[in-house]
Amino acid sequence: MSQLSDFVLKHSVRGSCECGQCIDAPETSVQPTGHTADVYNFQVAAKDNPDPETLKKLIQEHKGVFCNVDPLDGEDHGYIELGEWIGDQGLALQLMGLGTLLGLWELLTPKTMCPGLPKDLMDMMAGKGLIEVKKTA
């Protein structure tokens, strides 16, 4: 397992944040920002204070499994591409969520891009790969 995968597994969990401010909030209410990222298929929360600079460094050093990608180059990168890069689609989504929480990039999903669409249409878009990250600054 790569150091990057290791970092993602150690510093993020699937599900809502359990800091205490979030746990009792109903799902429909506004949660504190930066606690939980919605990568469409599931939610991602950070764990044990991950350092954004360390994550950036591991991303830059990571050697792709099936392809080489630089998720920090300012282009759109979907979970299918990042899955081939990190070796697992679920882990790619978890990385995308964690990087969003740490301010590395912006998360683009059918929910953020086309809110209000019927759920089956959103599911279809997500299935085609429209869950992406894009570094903005």
Binding residues vs Zn ion (CB under 5 A): 17, 19, 21-22, 35
- Closer residue to Zn ion, CB minimum distance, 27 or 120: 27
- Residue 78, beta-bridge partner list: 132
What whole-number distance in Å separates Cα of residue 10 and Cα of residue 119?
A: 32
Helix orientation angle between 89-101 and 3-11, rounded to the nearest 10 degrees: 60
Please state, in angstroms and rounded to a whole number, the distance separating the CA atoms of residues 96 and 134: 10
Nearer to Zn ion, 22 or 72 (CB): 22
19/124 with CB nearer Zn ion: 19
Residue closer to Zn ion, measured from CB, 23 or 124? 23
Task: State the minimum distance, in angstroms, from the CB of residue 21 to Zn ion.
Answer: 5
Instruction: Name the β-bridge partners of 132.
Output: 78, 108
Determine the Cα–Cα distance for residues 63 and 114; give it in Å rounded to an integer.
Answer: 33
- C-beta of 18: minimal distance to Zn ion in Å? 7
When computed from its CA atoms, the radius of gyration of the chain, rounded to whole angstroms, is 14
- By CB atoms closer than 10 A (0-12, 13-18, 19+), residue 93 is buried
CB of 35 to Zn ion, least distance (A): 3
Rounded to a whole number of angstroms, the minimum distance from the CB of residue 19 to Zn ion is 3
Closer to Zn ion by CB, 22 or 65: give it.
22
Minimum separation from the CB atom of position 72 to Zn ion (A): 26
